[in-house]
């Protein structure tokens, strides 16, 4: 019985502690996570919804965090997986993609704002990166925006470091081709 | 050869991520979700369930009626949660079940009886040891 009580006490404390940990994670990383999610889903509202779900998921899985990586890496890993799950989901494939197709029908006038953003000089780089295929976009974003090391990215995405290097190199080539095309 | 991604962060901050941050409303929504998660099941609720099937086996509906009579209101707006908890208690081998006429009847088994007995003996300590179940059940 003593053992059980011991367990119960730590568990009891954990509840409060867990909430604090999530609070702290949100304070430090919520914008980074939100931006990361956006690069996967390219929609602000969906990105906000998913980021919210990610923090709740972290809370639920916090007892499974096994100190083998930093909590930041762990959080990013959950985020990345959550986004990939979403992109595979029925909702995304049927509903969101359908809406996207409507967006691309030329008769529908695009929002002026969007046009302006597209044409400004500053954003051609952003657009080029956002239009890279996911596996390149992911590593580029984590490395250059979130400023994570390849070792950390490898832990987050479960992709071998050498593969990541190749992808970065390939991403640079793709980007150059695109920029030349635009000019 | 300079790095084409060198200015990417700056460029993104000024474009797609401009005025785009995780708002306080969103943070509060996360906290809210966490809180409702925490407070779903109380020890008293679990004990009340165990007590309700102490002497005879009952189906979910009759358990809920009895809980209502005992003024346990934890499931009054979401009855479905009762079944989640019953299922969990069954998995933890606190309860056993039988199917009779398409209804699942729950009854206390030896482990559940032991818990109930020790809880009544020593309310303060034993109450705590149920917490692992409560936490697990609410997630």
Burial status of residue B75 (CB atoms within 10 A of its CB: 0-12, 13-18, 19 or more): buried
Instruction: State the CB neighbour count (10 A cutoff) for residue B9.
Output: 16
Q: Which one of A85, A108, A131 terminates a domain? A: A108
CB contact under 8 A, A122 and B9: no
Q: Is residue B15 part of a domain?
A: no
Quote the CA–CA distance of A31 and B92 in Å, as a whole number.
40
Same domain, A77 and A128: no
In this predicted structure, what is the pLDDT of residue A51? 96
Q: Nearest Cβ partner of B38 from A15, A26, A130? A: A15
Same domain, A60 and A121: no
In this predicted structure, what is the pLDDT of residue A125? 87
pLDDT tens per residue, chain B (139 residues)? 578 888 889 889 988 998 999 999 999 999 988 877 665 566 777 888 888 998 888 998 899 888 888 877 777 767 777 888 888 888 888 899 999 888 999 999 888 888 888 877 765 554 455 555 555 555 4
Same domain, A63 and A11: yes
Top residue of A145, A153, A169, A171 to mutate, by most chain B CBs within 10 Å, is A145
Q: Are residues B23 and A11 in contact, defined by beta-carbon separation less than 8 angstroms? A: no
Domain count, chain B: 1
In this predicted structure, what is the pLDDT of residue B4? 81
What pTM, to 2 d.p., does this model score?
0.65
Domain containing B53: what range?
Answer: 43-138
pLDDT tens per residue, chain A (183 residues)? 344 444 344 444 456 778 888 999 999 999 999 999 999 999 999 999 999 999 999 988 888 888 788 899 999 999 999 999 999 988 777 776 677 776 666 544 455 455 445 556 567 888 889 999 999 999 999 999 999 999 999 999 999 999 999 999 999 999 888 877 766
Same domain, A113 and A158: yes
In this predicted structure, what is the pLDDT of residue A41? 93
Domain containing A66: what range?
Answer: 1-108
Q: Nearest 5°: CA angle at B72, between B71 and B76?
A: 105
Tell me the CATH number at B93: 1.10.10.10
Q: Is residue B3 part of a domain?
A: no
How many residues are present in chain B? 139
Same domain, A113 and A135: yes
- C-alpha separations of A99 from A39, A95, A107, A112, A113 in Å: 18, 6, 14, 19, 19
Q: What is the dihedral of CA A155, A42, A55, B35, to 10 degrees?
A: -170
Q: Which one of A108, A135, A160 terminates a domain? A: A108
Q: Which one of A79, A108, A137 terminates a domain? A: A108
Tell me the CATH number at A35: 1.10.1740.10
Q: Is residue B28 part of a domain?
A: no
Q: Is residue B34 part of a domain?
A: no
Q: Is residue B26 part of a domain?
A: no
A126 neighbourhood in chain B, CB within 8 Å: 8, 11-12, 15-16
Q: Is residue B35 part of a domain?
A: no
Same domain, A64 and A134: no
Same domain, A116 and A61: no
Q: Is A176 touching B (CB cutoff 8 A)?
A: yes
ipTM above 0.95, yes or no: no
Q: Which of residues 110-129 of B touch A (CB under 8 A)?
A: 118, 125, 128-129
Domain count, chain A: 2
Q: Is residue B70 part of a domain?
A: yes
Beta bridge partners of B131: none
CB contact under 8 A, B29 and A122: no
- Among candidates B39, B69, B59, B63, which has minimal Cα distance to B51? B63
Same domain, A121 and A100: no
Same domain, A84 and A113: no
In this predicted structure, what is the pLDDT of residue A86? 93
Quote the CA–CA distance of A142 and B69 in Å, as a whole number.
57
Burial status of residue A113 (CB atoms within 10 A of its CB: 0-12, 13-18, 19 or more): exposed
Tokens of residue B94, six digits: 């606190």
Q: Is residue B31 part of a domain?
A: no
Tell me the CATH number at A147: 1.10.10.10
Same domain, A113 and A103: no
Same domain, A93 and A121: no
A62-65 long-range contacts, Cβ below 8 Å, gap at least 24? Answer: A62/A14, A62/A18, A62/A21, A62/A22, A63/A14
CB contact under 8 A, B135 and A1: no
Q: Is A173 touching B (CB cutoff 8 A)?
A: no
Q: Nearest Cβ partner of B30 from A11, A55, A122? A: A55
CB contact under 8 A, A31 and B125: no
In this predicted structure, what is the pLDDT of residue A65? 85
Same domain, A115 and A171: yes
């Amino acid at each position: 019985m003593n053992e059980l009580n011991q367990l119960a006490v730590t568990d009891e404390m954990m509840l409060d502690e867990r909430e604090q940990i999530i609070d702290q994670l949100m304070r430090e990383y919520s914008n980074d996570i939100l931006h990361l999610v956006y690069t996967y889903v390219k929609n602000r509202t969906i990105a906000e919804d998913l980021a919210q779900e990610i923090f709740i998921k972290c809370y639920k899985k916090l007892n499974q965090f096994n100190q083998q990586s930093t909590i930041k890496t762990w959080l990013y890993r959950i985020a990345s997986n959550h986004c990939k799950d979403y992109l595979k989901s029925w909702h995304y494939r049927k509903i969101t993609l359908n809406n996207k197709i409507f967006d691309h029908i030329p008769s529908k006038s695009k929002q002026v704002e969007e046009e302006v953003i597209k044409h400004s000089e500053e954003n051609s780089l952003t657009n080029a990166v956002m239009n890279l295929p996911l596996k390149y976009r992911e590593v580029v974003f984590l490395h250059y925006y979130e400023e994570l090391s390849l070792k950390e990215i490898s832990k987050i995405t479960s992709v071998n470091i050498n593969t990541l290097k190749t992808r970065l190199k390939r991403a640079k080539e793709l980007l150059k081709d695109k920029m030349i095309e635009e000019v | 050869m300079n790095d084409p991604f060198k200015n990417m962060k700056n460029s993104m901050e000024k474009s797609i991520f401009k005025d785009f941050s995780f708002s306080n409303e969103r943070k509060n929504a996360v906290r809210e979700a966490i809180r409702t998660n925490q407070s779903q099941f109380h020890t008293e609720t679990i004990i009340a369930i165990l007590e309700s099937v102490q002497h005879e086996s009952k189906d979910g509906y009759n358990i809920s009626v009895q809980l209502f009579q005992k003024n346990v209101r934890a499931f009054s707006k979401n009855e479905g949660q009762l079944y989640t908890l019953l299922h969990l208690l069954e998995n933890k081998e606190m309860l056993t079940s039988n199917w009779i006429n398409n209804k699942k009847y729950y009854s206390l088994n030896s482990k559940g009886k032991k818990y109930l007995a020790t809880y009544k003996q020593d309310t303060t300590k034993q109450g705590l040891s149920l917490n692992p179940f409560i936490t697990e059940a609410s997630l």
